Structure 1
Amino acid sequence: MILKDLNRQGSVTLTQQLYEQIRSLILNDELHEGERIFSTREVAGSLQISRNIVIEAYDRLLSEGYLEIIPKSGTFVAKGASIKAAKKEGSITLQGIVFEKQPTYIDFKGGNPAIDHFPRKKWAQLTKDVCLDAPSSIFGYGDPCGVLSLRKVLVNYLRRARGVICDHSQIVITSGATQALKLITELLVKKDDFIAVEDPVTDEMRNIFTNADASIFPVAADHEGIQPALLPEKRPSFTFVIPSHQFPLGGTLTIQRRVQLLEYARKMDSYIVEDDYDSEFTYEGGSVPSIQGLDPDCVIYVGTFSKILSPALRIGYVVLPKPLIEPFYSLKWYSDRHTSSIEQYALARFIDEGHLDKHVRKMKKIYMERRKVLTDALQRAFPTVHVIGKAAGMHIVAQFPGITFTKELCEKLMQEGVKIYPVEHFALNKGSHADKIVLGYGGITVEELKKGVEILKRNIQE
């Protein structure tokens, strides 16, 4: 049994270090089942430590079943204790915490924010302040619908930024938009019901609906969003739309189509579910207000801070028409009791003190620069390329006339160091978008954007 020297200056006790070393040797099958290990006296002498330290480590390993004592023979690795521990590739550790390394390829995934610009210091300060200043009650169970201070702050923020009309009782804080949409689907979709969904649509949304056993009626979208004239004649449980910056095509739903969509929902006595995931980032003209502000009784509004701040926060929200408040509360309670309270308090302060507005202004400048670098590089490399949906958000769609983005081409690009996302992948009805790809730029540096386009050019020309 080969043991490494113990760190006598570290914060981890010598007993814990020795225990972890021997346990790791057993789990990695470097100490085999039935193998005799050194006596406590031998280990103490070898490592120049007290024998009591070794005895404590051995006792713990014995109590957990890693070791067994055979009288008059010694201490052995217990039968059934050896197993090769699965090692995570591509990770780094810092004081026992594992952080995954980022992929080596340039990932053009749409909707990835610039997490390298996350306001770490301010967020850390606010979180610390909450932990130190807030009453002890915040560390207990919270309200299923969310922290009251955050919901009140959101009422004012959403009215000002998105034209949403509501009071705090209509807002439920969720673990991201994904949970909000899952709960909406559970609430509204009954057996044999269907959902009208704009097509193409993000696969995450599609999977949420289908996992709830709901049928999907695809409604074709174009550069102006969903086409209301193509909505089904039969009543859907709800109609799902992303009107401010449709994913993946990037269109903004015109006021005429918004009115038609609302008239349809009223006629069918059905709801519209509005996903407003990145509308804060508008670059050409002012941002278009939400559909919810036109008819709060008809629209369920879903938002998230994953795209504005960071996906790691897992804070989203849903604004409900009043008849749905109570049943939605119940579903939320049974789903996860409540979303993390400390982060909600920190976010409430972040918004209320003006830091969110400041962060959005900063990120708009960064994204505008990255958008320009990407579109300029594309147009230089591909004179016939058509860029779609560049007025808002964190992605564009590039249409390459005469090019079909097959599985083989995408795999070849991946091998060359670029990951792209064909629009056809998101289409429910296939065949109309084979020459288009989604190119997200939010989470990619200027240098990586230029390099990524060069790789695209080289491989597409070939």
Structure 2
Amino acid sequence: MAWLIIDRSLKKPLIRQIYQQLRTKILNGELTAGYRLPSTRQLAEELEVSRNVVLEAYDQLLAEGFLEGHQGAGTFVAAGAYLKRTEMNTPFIVENNSPKKNDNIIDFRSGIPALDLFPRKQWGNLAKRVSIETDHSLFGYDSPEGRIELRTVLSDYLLRTRGVECHPDQLVITTGATQALTLIAKLLISANDKVIIEDPITHEIQTIFQSYGASLLPISVDENGMDTNQIPHEIKPAFIFVTPSHQFPIGGTLPIQRRIQLIEYAREGESFIVEDDYDSEFRYEGPSISSLQGLDPNRTIYIGTFSKILSPALRLGYIILPPALIERGRTLKYFSDLHTPSLEQLTLALFIKEGHLEKHIFRMKKIYRKRRDFLKEQLYYQFGDTVKIHGDSTGLHLVAEFDGIHFTESLLSRINNNGVKVYPVELHTINKGLYSNYIILGFGNLDEDKIAEGVTKIKRVLLNK
């Protein structure tokens, strides 16, 4: 087909080439709603590629809402997937100079990776190389935005894996996502400003924004993430905060139609969207979901962290700023901590460049999928149809909804006294009362024996409630 071009000399995978070309044509309106695409077999023959290549590209577009399939009729362009594009001004800027652990508790805390499976050997070897082989200047003060070596490999990695469009100068390396969120609050919030935010959403994020004077405007979520139809158009918020690839904690994925609604709303009100992409690397059902940032880099602030992928102990994260915010963002980072530790940055840069990160993610994805499946099996075995599971397609946690149970402080305390710690969804709600029978169960740092024991103990407490 003449309007799709395959270039086998590129490093970019054939699947990604087909996906990106079709995605661009749909977003730009070249392929309009209702347009019927060729069958996967026909397109594969015309492009002289494997049918599986075309199938995966179509599956990616279906998962993100660009396409819709009709049984027996074919695959069609979905309505609402056209987005008027704006030019991105690529910046070229001169470089500027725990809580106590109780080993007897089975802790279902979310967002904790398998700490015992951290790739110590590879990391240690790379850290040794950095310490021995790099110039002595590395041991001095550094630039607030982070090492150019890390920002360069990270911008390439994010484009390839998450569809994030950014120049290395847009990246600011932070000491985790918390610092990134704090920088955003300092950048954008003035006293009594309104922040549009998902409900529920991480309690700590609410606290950070409120501590800088923000008034939170909660928008409820459903199985597709933030319900964008509820956003009031009569106000101009400081920004809109979303977790579009894996809503926390309920787990929905924001489809393209709602993403476009958010972008158009932000453009109309000259606001920014803050995208927290905290654990989308571990997607178990279907293809990975592209970032919202790639749709409008000028309006979206993108936050990422290595705490979930590798280890919270590294304290390495990043923020991608639109061009208009780069200079102020760097200045605030400088006054925050001068710079993020350089040795760790260079070690991570090598870890990514030499392919260790993607190998680690691939390995851990299989392990986490197995743990997730086992946790689901145990929940259904112990509770049958009295439990419903939400948000298990991605990440290191799932949400369990129990019929007839209300996780009060008293009940949670009794579960804890029986050697298990669970986390109520209500902790993270703004409008209270809708999720009193929901709990968050993290499985990343628990082996199967601990998972089975933990679920059994939860049942024992609930049956004696």
| TM-score bin, normalised by smaller chain | 0.7 to 0.9
Cα deviation digits, residues 163-197 of structure 1 (max 9, x gap)? 00011010000010100110111111112211111
- Tell me by how many angstroms 1:212 deviates: 1.1
Per the alignment, residue 364 of structure 1 pairs with 365
Is the Cα–Cα contact under 8 Å of residues 127 and 343 in structure 1 kept in the other structure? Answer: yes
Measured in 2, the distance between the counterparts of 1:362 and 1:232 equals 43
1:419 equivalent among 418, 421, 424:
421
Cα deviation digits, residues 32-87 of structure 1 (max 9, x gap)? xxxxxxxxxxxxxxxxxxxxxxxxxxxxxxxxxxxxxxxxxxxxxxxxxxxxxxxx
Task: Give the secondary structure class of the aligned counterpart of 1:317.
Answer: strand
Measured in 2, the distance between the counterparts of 1:361 and 1:260 equals 33
Task: Give the secondary structure class of the aligned counterpart of 1:428.
Answer: coil
Cα deviation digits, residues 126-184 of structure 1 (max 9, x gap)? 11100000000000001100000000001110001110001101000001010011011
Task: Give the secondary structure class of the aligned counterpart of 2:221.
Answer: strand
1:10-21 paired onto structure 2 within 5 Å: none
1:234-249 paired onto structure 2 within 5 Å: 234-249=235-250
1:32-431 paired onto structure 2 within 5 Å: 101-233=101-233, 234-384=235-385, 385-431=387-433
Measured in 2, the distance between the counterparts of 1:428 and 1:167 equals 36
Distance 1:450 1:216, change over 3 A: same
- Tell me by how many angstroms 1:262 deviates: 1.0
Measured in 2, the distance between the counterparts of 1:330 and 1:265 equals 25
Measured in 1, the distance between the counterparts of 2:121 and 2:306 equals 18
Task: Give the secondary structure class of the aligned counterpart of 2:367.
Answer: helix
Look up the equivalent residue of 2:400 and give its one-letter code. A
Measured in 2, the distance between the counterparts of 1:116 and 1:206 equals 31
Cα deviation digits, residues 202-250 of structure 1 (max 9, x gap)? 1111111111121111111112111111113301100001111111111
Is the Cα–Cα contact under 8 Å of residues 226 and 253 in structure 1 kept in the other structure? Answer: yes
Measured in 1, the distance between the counterparts of 2:231 and 2:115 equals 38
Look up the equivalent residue of 1:458 and give its one-letter code. R
Is the Cα–Cα contact under 8 Å of residues 145 and 329 in structure 1 kept in the other structure? Answer: yes
- Tell me by how many angstroms 1:259 deviates: 1.1
Measured in 2, the distance between the counterparts of 1:184 and 1:115 equals 29
Look up the equivalent residue of 2:398 and give its one-letter code. I
Distance 1:236 1:103, change over 3 A: farther
Measured in 1, the distance between the counterparts of 2:412 and 2:145 equals 43
Per the alignment, residue 45 of structure 2 pairs with none
Identity %: 51
Q: Structure 1: which 4+ aligned runs deviate by more than 2 Å? A: 98-103
Measured in 2, the distance between the counterparts of 1:203 and 1:101 equals 21
Measured in 2, the distance between the counterparts of 1:289 and 1:189 equals 28
Task: Give the secondary structure class of the aligned counterpart of 1:281.
Answer: coil
Is the Cα–Cα contact under 8 Å of residues 191 and 212 in structure 2 kept in the other structure? Answer: no
Is the Cα–Cα contact under 8 Å of residues 190 and 212 in structure 2 kept in the other structure? Answer: no
Task: Give the secondary structure class of the aligned counterpart of 1:309.
Answer: coil
Task: Give the secondary structure class of the aligned counterpart of 1:221.
Answer: strand
Per the alignment, residue 92 of structure 1 pairs with none
Is the Cα–Cα contact under 8 Å of residues 217 and 232 in structure 1 kept in the other structure? Answer: no
Question: Given the two structures, how large is their TM-score scaled by the length of structure 2?
Answer: 0.77
Larger gyration radius, structure 1 or structure 2? 1
- Tell me by how many angstroms 1:361 deviates: 0.4
Per the alignment, residue 450 of structure 1 pairs with 452
Measured in 2, the distance between the counterparts of 1:412 and 1:102 equals 16
Look up the equivalent residue of 1:285 and give its one-letter code. G
- Tell me by how many angstroms 1:101 deviates: 5.0
Is the Cα–Cα contact under 8 Å of residues 190 and 213 in structure 2 kept in the other structure? Answer: no
Task: Give the secondary structure class of the aligned counterpart of 2:366.
Answer: helix
Look up the equivalent residue of 2:384 and give its one-letter code. P
Is the Cα–Cα contact under 8 Å of residues 196 and 232 in structure 1 kept in the other structure? Answer: no
Unaligned runs of 5+ in 2: 1-97
Unaligned runs of 5+ in 1: 1-97
Measured in 1, the distance between the counterparts of 2:405 and 2:144 equals 50
Per the alignment, residue 58 of structure 2 pairs with none
